[in-house]
Amino acid sequence: MSDTPTFETLLVERTGRRLTITMNRPEVLNAFGGPMHREIVDALAFARDDTGSDVVVITGAGRAFSAGGDIDGMRRVIEAPETFDTEVEDARALIYTLLDIEKPVIARINGPAVGLGATIALFCDVTFASETAKIGDPHVTIGLVAGDGGAIIWPVLVGLHRAKEYLFTGEILTARKAAEIGLVNHVLAEDALDDAVDAFCDRLLAGATEAIRGTKIVMNMELKRLAHAMMDPGLALEAQTVRSADHRARVEAFLAKSKKT
């Protein structure tokens, strides 16, 4: 019997000393909605505490890593904004728990990683992207502050000016462009992605586990400091925009356009 947990929206599997967390809502491009916000936190907590693994891989089922927020869920939050306030704790816990995993966490970006999906991928330690993937944080395009982690991790990876350019516009980048500016580590042909991820995981698993973990702990200290300083104000500002007329108008326009296409 497997000792890995079972979730409604995620798959958690262990192969040898490698643990893989797969976001599993392929019918909606692994968008976050329903129980997935809470389940991803629980899965990351399991990965953090799992004594049976030394490397963690995060990926998505089907043709996407994660499309980020569920637009129908946003509409429901507009009508009952207090529900967003209850999600804030999950949003905070997601980033803190991911950063607390001492073992290396690898992002296998098999397709679009957008919004919260991009944030999760970029907070991983090393990123491998399919050349068909696209990456971006379009919070502002639907009238929201990028408060759930993007404003923390993008400047760390690509510098403040570049991060401002992409977060102010919500531009979606190709995987090649993301690699060019240092947002992701590696871009592979779609049929080469798995071999590259497997080879890197095997290399880490053959390495000095304690030394790798200790090195990550030291390197993550500044990132943790930033996260603990910025998550609360970021989420508070995002909560304000959840209640804004601009956000409502942009979501309604998106839904109306979707119905026509």
Q: Number of structural domains, the chain?
A: 1
Instruction: Give domain status of residue 216, yes or no.
Output: yes
pLDDT of amino acid 42: 97
Q: Which residues of the chain are under the pLDDT cut of 70?
A: 1-2, 261
Place of tokens 């958690």: 12
Residue 66's φ and ψ, nearest 5 degrees, are -165, 130
In this prediction, residue 88 carries a pLDDT of 84
Domain hosting 32: range is 10-260
Question: Pick from 104, 83, 64: which is nearest to 202 by CA?
Answer: 104
User: Could you tell me how many residues make up the chain?
Assistant: 261
> Residue 3: inside a domain, yes or no?
no
CA distance 44 to 40: 6
| pLDDT at residue 2, rounded to an integer | 65
What pLDDT is attached to residue 122? 98
Helix (H) or strand (E) holding 122: helix 116-123
Q: How far is CA 25 from CA 65, 139, 191, 217, in A?
A: 10, 21, 22, 32
Q: What whole-number distance in Å separates Cα of residue 74 and Cα of residue 77?
A: 5
Which pLDDT score is estimated for 79?
A: 81
Query: What gap in Å lies between CA 139 and CA 170, rounded to an integer?
Result: 7
| CATH classification of the domain holding 203 | 3.90.226.10
- pTM of structure: 0.95
Q: In sequence order, which residues have a C-beta less than 8 Å from that of residue 236 and are 6 or more positions away?
A: 147
Residue 88 lies in a domain: yes
- Residue 1 is predicted with a pLDDT of 38
For residue 140, is it within any domain? yes
Answer yes or no: is 71 within a domain.
yes
Q: Report the pLDDT value the prediction gives residue 24, as an integer from 0 to 100.
A: 97
Query: The tokens of 16 are what?
Result: 């040898």
d(CA 94, CA 43): 10
